[in-house]
């Protein structure tokens, strides 16, 4: 009987091409979202805890997505499939746009008096340590984090209750981000397979990355709550934790999807949710700022 590692590597070798559905086009689009006084301080279900938690995720994105781009770019010369090469360009462009839009949101968080610079410095320390790992291990981390962002994106687009809990000034940002995370959810994974990534690497780094993401998000959320003690409420925090981890919770409902990553031969497009892209993409076009209507293809440096 073939080992799990050998079986997966042979499967990868037998199918090197991108598995992104033909109806998915991975292209970057600058949106030009603005965040000001029209955005309430507690924009998610009017909850300080939940709003700080989502703000914490936003703070992770600019540096985190630069890490994703660097880890994929390190193997760009080894990619043989022309379609995957195009998708890598699209992936890099989309991650660049996510970074820029979340920088704008993070400035809004900074304007609320949150210690954004301190948290960004601490994140940089963690990422600088991670960058000492072998390049393929860094790519495995990117695959793992892309799996988690993709499953959260799928949930956000699937569940009306998640979107409706967001204030109307924030909903377009997160819906747009979810659409593009869905579009490029397999790019890093396909690159990883093409450069010989193993089952052991990808599954170990899913566990590693899950812990790291949980620690950093919890730390950032805690820092912002400590900075906002006037509105601290045990009841609000308890409700928020139940919303995340209780029955049918935002995160608890994702456990089966998270576990699917451990299946030998797993691929992100085993769950083809491309219809969600078509359903929401037309709607989100209305939120593109006029100066970006013709598109933007800038990339992270």
3-state secondary structure the chain: CCCHHHHHHHHHHHCCCCCCCCCCCCCCCCCCCCCCCCCCCCCECCCHHHHHHHHHHHHHHHHHHHHHHHHHHCCHHHCCCHHHHHHHHHHHHHHHHHHHHHHHHHHHHHHCCCCHHHHHHHHHHHHHHHCCCCHHHHHHHHHHHHHHHHHHHHHHHHCHHHHHCECCCCHHHHHHHHHHHHHCCCHHHHHHHHCCCCHHHHHHHHHHHHHHHHHHHHHHHHHHHHCCHHHCCHHHHHHHHHHHHCCCCCCHHHHHHHHHCCCCCCCHHHCCCHHHHHHHHHHHHHHCCHHHCCCCCCCCC
Task: Mean pLDDT check: name the lowest of 3-7, 248-252, 287-291.
Answer: 3-7
Instruction: State the pLDDT at residue 13.
Output: 44
Give 294's pLDDT tier (boundaries 50, 70, 90). confident
Instruction: State the pLDDT at residue 260.
Output: 98
Give 3's pLDDT tier (boundaries 50, 70, 90). low
Mean pLDDT of 174-198: 97
Q: What is the pLDDT of residues 222-241, one digit of tens each?
A: 999 999 988 889 999 999 99
Give 14's pLDDT tier (boundaries 50, 70, 90). very low
Instruction: State the pLDDT at residue 36.
Output: 86
Q: What is the pLDDT of residues 50-61, one digit of tens each?
A: 999 999 999 999
| pLDDT surpassing 70 at residue 295 | no
Q: What is the pLDDT of residues 106-133, one digit of tens each?
A: 999 999 999 999 999 999 999 999 999 9
| pLDDT surpassing 60 at residue 46 | yes
Q: What is the pLDDT of residues 256-283, one digit of tens each?
A: 999 999 999 999 999 999 999 999 998 9
Give 299's pLDDT tier (boundaries 50, 70, 90). very low
Mean pLDDT of 185-196: 97
Return the percentage of the chain with pLDDT > 70, whole number: 92
């Amino acid at each position: 009987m073939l080992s799990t590692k050998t079986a997966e590597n042979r499967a990868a070798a037998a199918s090197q091409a991108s598995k992104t559905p033909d109806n998915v086009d991975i292209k970057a689009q600058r949106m030009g979202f603005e965040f000001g006084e029209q955005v309430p301080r507690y924009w998610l279900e009017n909850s300080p805890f939940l709003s700080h938690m989502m703000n914490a995720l936003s703070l992770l994105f600019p540096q985190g997505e630069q890490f994703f781009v660097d880890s994929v770019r390190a193997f760009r010369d080894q990619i043989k499939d022309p379609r995957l090469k195009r998708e890598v360009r699209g992936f890099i462009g989309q991650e660049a746009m996510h970074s820029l839009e979340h920088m704008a949101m993070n400035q809004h968080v900074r304007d609320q008096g949150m210690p954004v610079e301190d948290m960004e410095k601490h994140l940089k320390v963690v990422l600088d340590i991670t960058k000492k790992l072998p390049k393929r291990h860094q790519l495995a981390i990117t695959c793992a984090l892309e799996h988690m962002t993709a499953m959260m994106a799928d949930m956000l687009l699937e569940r009306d209750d998640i979107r409706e809990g967001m204030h109307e000034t924030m909903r377009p940002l997160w819906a747009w981000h979810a659409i593009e995370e869905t579009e490029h959810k397999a790019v890093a994974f396909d690159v990883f397979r093409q450069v010989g990534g193993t089952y052991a690497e990808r599954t170990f780094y899913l566990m590693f990355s899950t812990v790291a993401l949980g620690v950093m998000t919890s730390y950032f959320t805690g820092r912002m709550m400590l900075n906002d003690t006037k509105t601290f409420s045990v009841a609000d925090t308890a409700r928020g934790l139940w919303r995340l981890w209780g029955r049918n919770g935002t995160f608890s409902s994702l456990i089966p999807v998270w576990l699917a990553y451990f299946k030998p031969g797993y691929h992100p497009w085993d769950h083809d949710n491309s219809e969600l892209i078509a359903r929401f993409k037309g709607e989100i076009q209305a939120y593109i700022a006029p100066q970006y209507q013709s598109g933007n293809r800038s990339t992270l440096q």
